[in-house]
Structure 1
Amino acid sequence: MLGLRLPDGPLEVLCLGAHPDDVEIGCGATLLRLARRPGVRVRGVVLTGAGGPREAEARAALPRFVPDAEVEVHDLPDGRLPAAWAAVKETLEDLARRTAPDVVLAPRTDDAHQDHRLVGGLVPTVWRDALVLHYEIPKWDGDLGPMSHYVGVDATTMRRKLELLDASFPSQLARDWWDAETFGGLMRLRGIECRAPYAEAFRAAKVLLDLAPGPGEGT
């Protein structure tokens, strides 16, 4: 398996979630790894939850994973984002006018949840010059499938992600699917697929490889 690396230097990362906890479930361990890298700036945008009981969770969670991360929470209709297509699109376009991320982390385009699916599908139409990585979220619908890219992590990072999920989203602790076996088990399976102890997996529709020039080629 060939390992690919993001370029050195400053890195702007945009994390998009339809709901509070989407980003942290889908790529929390990846964010913990990014937080160790100098020059990384992370912005999280949650499209639903503003003015509701989970807004405080959404605003506090991401900075636990990446100190100094900025967070926006919007008040689009939870569970009804497809009916608010124009508002979702405009929210993302407005965000694009204010930001120029190198990497965008977003839900899968084929996620079984309609809100996730809409956000994931719109992202590549808004950010055409960024690396877009679509994360996965385990759920009752059973929509997990093959992934194309992986971020391997060690056991310490995996456990830290699980600790921060519980600490950040107490409103979800009573749910029957919210436990260490769900999140840790998926990370272990994805780790097997990429020969790492644990991993988070992503899909990418387009990845531009900037190869070093070979013998006789121009610089």
Structure 2
Amino acid sequence: MLGFSLTGVRSMIAVGAHPDDIEIAAGGLLLSLAEANPGLRVHYVLCTGSPERQAEARAAAAAFLPGAELTFALHDLPDSRLPAHWNATKNIVHEAAATFPGAQLVICPAQNDAHQDHRLLAELAPTVFRDQLVLHYEIPKWDGDLSRRNTYLPLTDEIARRKVELLHASFPSQKGRDWWDDEVFLGLARLRGMECRSRYAEAFDCNKASLTLGSEGGS
């Protein structure tokens, strides 16, 4: 299995449909990038969320990305109705690209995600971010849409457990959900770790990447 270093990534756009999507799917990536890349700049984009949930998202971003320079574009489109607001959603993604044009890395939902809001963002992102490395993340859910992935980020035990700790601390509004627990979060991380010969990992899809012999691009 070939490996590519994310050390050197200085800027990233994180795109989510709902508050907590990004951290559930890629909290380990956020913690790892912040640790490895001092001065990291991150533009956080969410399409839906009440004021309470947006406040949770802001606090979560600060917790998962300590020391990073954060900017936010938090929107309040109707939850579970993004396909009916296609133009507005498309504009949000374009605005993110225009606001943060030098981003080296973009993370967004997976294209085979069963949730319609996630799936729309997954379809739109590659049409807008043509010069960035785009990683499509996965979110466990009732729909049971987990599948084979092609890109892995091994996580240390410390980062995997810190991710779960921060999920609980950052999103108190979600603690009543029957799937919101350590076993779900660490269980998926353990399975993805097994697939890449690590204890824990997060998994992504990457549909297109450019290989270089130099250090440019940070990936």
Shorter-chain TM-score range: over 0.9
Aligned-partner SS, 1:44 = strand
Deviation, structure 1 residue 60:
1.2
What is the correspondence of 1:8-19 to structure 2 with a 5 Å cutoff?
Answer: 8=8, 11-19=10-18
Q: How many residues align?
A: 210
- CA distance in 1: counterparts of 2:7 and 2:178, whole angstroms: 40
Contact 1:134 1:203 in 2 (8 A): yes
Aligned-partner SS, 1:69 = strand
TM-score, scaled relative to structure 1: 0.92
Q: Which residue in the other structure is 2:48 paired with?
A: 48
Deviation, structure 1 residue 7:
5.9
Q: Give me the identity figure in percent.
A: 54
- CA distance in 2: counterparts of 1:19 and 1:33, whole angstroms: 22
What is the correspondence of 1:92-171 to structure 2 with a 5 Å cutoff?
Answer: 92-100=93-101, 101-171=103-173
Q: What runs of 5+ residues in structure 1 fail to find an aligned partner?
A: 213-219
**Which amino acid is 2:182 matched to?**
A
Bigger relative contact order, structure 1 or 2 (CA pairs below 8 A, ≥6 apart): 2
Deviation, structure 1 residue 53:
3.0
Deviation, structure 1 residue 209:
0.9
- CA distance in 1: counterparts of 2:56 and 2:64, whole angstroms: 13
Q: 4+ residue runs of structure 1 moved beyond 3 angstroms?
A: none
Contact 1:59 1:72 in 2 (8 A): no
**Which amino acid is 1:104 matched to?**
V
- CA distance in 1: counterparts of 2:54 and 2:2, whole angstroms: 40
Cα deviations by residue, 1:170-209 (Å, 9 ceiling, x for unpaired): 0100100000000000000000000111000000100111
Q: Which residue in the other structure is 2:27 paired with?
A: 28
Deviation, structure 1 residue 69:
2.7
Contact 2:7 2:33 in 1 (8 A): no
Aligned-partner SS, 1:119 = helix
Match of 2:185 among 183, 193, 196: 183
Aligned CA RMSD, in angstroms, stands at: 1.3
Contact 1:106 1:133 in 2 (8 A): yes
- CA distance in 2: counterparts of 1:94 and 1:3, whole angstroms: 32
- CA distance in 1: counterparts of 2:190 and 2:182, whole angstroms: 11
TM-score, scaled relative to structure 2: 0.92
Deviation, structure 1 residue 55:
1.8
Deviation, structure 1 residue 65:
0.4
1:39 and 2:42 matched:
no
**Which amino acid is 1:208 matched to?**
S
Q: Which residue in the other structure is 1:75 paired with?
A: 76
Q: Give the stretch that moved more between structures: 133-142 or 61-70.
A: 61-70
